């Protein structure tokens, strides 16, 4: 057998990556990926979302968030969750990426890139000035965002007021 025939027969063809908008039948997949993302970050116990929450907030009347599913060979391999926000300094809308998850077996195969490119196209279509995201300190793959052109903003700190804090703040008001 020639070297050419040998190398072509040993070639492994990788399925291409496709990205699509999530649909109501994807609710369970979305929830599983949200839980997998939290578990991979060591905070799996923080997920309180249920299928009812996903159905209501992603697909119901008054939808609150958008979801994209990244697939390889027709199998879900990644998830991007995002929503439109308004940047007062730019006086224009922006997209905020809430979560980006790629299944461990599909990392490095273009799923994350395809999802982020789809978000960029969505931002352009919607007339957004930017795409923003927050990355936890423990994220070993944070350099991925640097490679995409995201710039870490040293002058910003991320704060969160959870349900208990919100309750306490309202109690302070009397």
Per-residue pLDDT tens for 88-107? 999 999 999 999 999 999 99
Q: What is the model's pLDDT at position 35? A: 97
DSSP state of 52: H
Q: Where are the domains of the chain?
A: 16-172
Q: What is the model's pLDDT at position 146? A: 86
Rounded Cα distance between 160 and 56, Å, is 23
Q: What is the model's pLDDT at position 7? A: 41
**Mean pLDDT, to the nearest integer, of 99-117?**
94
Rounded Cα distance between 34 and 65, Å, is 14
Domain 16-172 has CATH 1.10.490.10: no
Q: What is the model's pLDDT at position 27? A: 98
Question: Is the predicted pLDDT of residue 87 greater than 80, yes or no?
Answer: yes
Question: Is the predicted pLDDT of residue 13 greater than 60, yes or no?
Answer: no
Q: Quick one: residue 140, left, alpha or beta (phi over 0 = left, psi -120 to 50 = alpha)?
A: alpha
């Amino acid at each position: 057998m020639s070297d050419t025939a040998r190398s072509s027969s040993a070639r492994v063809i990788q399925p291409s990556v496709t990205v699509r908008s999530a649909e109501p039948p994807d609710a369970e997949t979305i929830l599983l990926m949200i839980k997998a993302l939290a578990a991979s970050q060591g905070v799996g116990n923080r997920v309180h979302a249920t299928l009812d929450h996903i159905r209501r907030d992603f697909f119901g009347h008054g939808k609150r968030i958008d979801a994209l599913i990244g697939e390889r060979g027709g199998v879900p391999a990644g998830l991007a969750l995002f929503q439109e926000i308004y940047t007062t300094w730019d006086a224009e809308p922006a997209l905020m990426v809430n979560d980006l998850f790629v299944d461990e077996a599909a990392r490095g195969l273009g799923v994350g890139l395809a999802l982020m490119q789809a978000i960029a196209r969505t931002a352009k279509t919607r007339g957004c000035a930017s795409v923003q995201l927050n990355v936890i300190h423990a994220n070993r793959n944070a350099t991925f965002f640097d490679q995409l052109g995201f710039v870490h903003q040293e002058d910003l700190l991320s704060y969160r007021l959870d349900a208990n804090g919100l309750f306490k703040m309202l109690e302070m008001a009397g």
